[in-house]
Structure 1
Amino acid sequence: MGFAEEHHQWLEYHKKRRTGERLDRLERGHRHGEQMFVERVWWPIFGNMDDLHPEYEVADWRGRPYFVDFVWKPGQVKVAIEVKGYGPHVQNIDRTRYRQELNRETYLQIAGYRVVAIPYDDLESSPELTISLLKALLTPCLLKNTDEGSRQYTRIELDILRIASRKNGFLRPVEVVNELAIDQRTVKKYMNSLCEKGKFKPVLVQGGNRVCRYELIPSFMDIELW
């Protein structure tokens, strides 16, 4: 499934779970800059939008609702992401709004969020730089969830994932049999389990319905596993 379809399904998922101002804010707020961030930065890093919440509602220090462009919440980690353009406040036209924005960012950090500002211009001209910086920033956050991430896989499943990684993402059942010294029926059981967990997809023989190999579905979260 490509980005456009995944993005559409992701938005529809969140829209169906919102009403009133929260829904209206999502429809109004997720515009060109936010979409460009998801397509040009987030998608190349993760290949999915799991745990990423658009136009996420939080309360500011006054208890008033405030919508962050994105909040990423994998496990215990909370990251607030704002796409920032060269707006009027930069030119000292709306100083009150600018002060409130800074206060909100400070309050978010008090509330346990890691706050990240993404320059809009970089999304257009140099998304590779944003990708590099965001990877460096998020890697320690991911490592905090190492134990939690590993526990969802058995020891044999982790071994299979590592084998697939060494073989450029494609794995034949016989390779698992030979490397782990387990029988073919056991391999099939674990491969089916990993397919259900979204880590592999079966590749059929051309013109047939027999599985000849499995393709690893990579994710930036795999840093937890290796």
Structure 2
Amino acid sequence: MGNEETFRSFIQDHIDKRSGERRGRLERGYGHAESLFLRNVWWPLRGDFQHLHPEYEVLDWRGRPYFADFAWLPGRVKLIFEIKGYASHVRDMDRQKYCNELNREAFLHAMGYHVISFAYDDVERNPALCMSMLRMVIGRHQSSQSPITRVMLSENEVIRLAIQQAEPIRPKDVEKHFEIDHKTAVNLLRKLCAKGWLLPSYRGNRERIVRYELAHDFFRNLDD
């Protein structure tokens, strides 16, 4: 089955399962931005639409229905993805719409959803950046049924720890965070150096590595 047939089958499957406005929103035509996200970002990264729900209906803090662009619901994880264009979400937004959007996102977070927004311009022109961001987000919330390995999860978590600290990371930081021994922590940091994600920081005449810092190209590679 070709990609276009796969996309149409994905939408049609959700149409067949819905009724009322939930069905009508998909039957009236799926948005260009959302379709672009599927084609440029989600499909190249994931290769399937498992657990992904388009035009997902939830209630906002006022009890009114709200349709998110996508929801990814693999078990306990509840991620909402929004594709935001500059015109509708910035240029044409008034104060009340701005308040409503922030209130809705805070309410959804309180209800256990994590709202992730992507700029339409990036989805269209820089999908590699969106895929990198999406990979990190999903890796953070990956369910145990997914094929991602413990090593990959550990590596991603070390990078997140380094970013959160905003300073070079030490083996003892990794030991404390994961509750592992010194040798295991050092091996994990060395693997990330071999991948080019971290750089070692030496003490003295390059005799001993004491810290590890994010490689200068790490964020640049995300933006390539």
Matched, 1:223 2:148: yes
1:113 corresponding residue in structure 2: 113
Give 2:34's aligned amino acid: E
Give 1:223's aligned amino acid: I
Displacement, 1:94?
2.3
Give 2:73's aligned amino acid: K
Displacement, 1:17?
1.2
Change in CA separation of 1:27 and 1:98 when aligned onto 2, cut-off 3 Å:
farther
Aligned pairs for 1:38-187 (under 5 A) are 38-91=38-91, 93-142=93-142, 145-146=143-144, 149=145
CA RMSD in angstroms comes to 1.7
Q: Deviations over 1:69-99 (max 9, x none)?
A: 0000011100000000012452365221221
Gaps of 5+ in 2: 152-224
Give 2:10's aligned amino acid: W
Gaps of 5+ in 1: 150-220
How far apart are the structure 1 equivalents of 2:89 and 2:79?
24
Larger RCO (CA under 8 A, 6+ residues apart): 1
Aligned pairs for 1:20-31 (under 5 A) are 20-28=20-28, 30-31=30-31
TM-score scaled by structure 1? Answer: 0.63
1:214 corresponding residue in structure 2: none
How far apart are the structure 1 equivalents of 2:93 and 2:66?
21
Give 1:47's aligned amino acid: G
How far apart are the structure 1 equivalents of 2:2 and 2:147?
20
Displacement, 1:26?
2.2
Matched, 1:33 2:33: yes
2:179 corresponding residue in structure 1: none
Q: State the SS of the aligned residue for 2:118.
A: strand
Displacement, 1:28?
4.0
Q: Deviations over 1:144-190 (max 9, x none)?
A: x22xx2xxxxxxxxxxxxxxxxxxxxxxxxxxxxxxxxxxxxxxxxx
8 Å CA contact 1:81, 1:116 repeated in 2 = yes
Give 1:100's aligned amino acid: N
How far apart are the structure 2 equivalents of 1:93 and 1:124?
22
8 Å CA contact 1:88, 1:94 repeated in 2 = no
Give 2:96's aligned amino acid: T
Give 1:67's aligned amino acid: F
Change in CA separation of 1:133 and 1:93 when aligned onto 2, cut-off 3 Å:
closer
Q: State the SS of the aligned residue for 2:75.
A: coil
Q: Deviations over 1:39-85 (max 9, x none)?
A: 11000111000100000000001111110000000111000000000
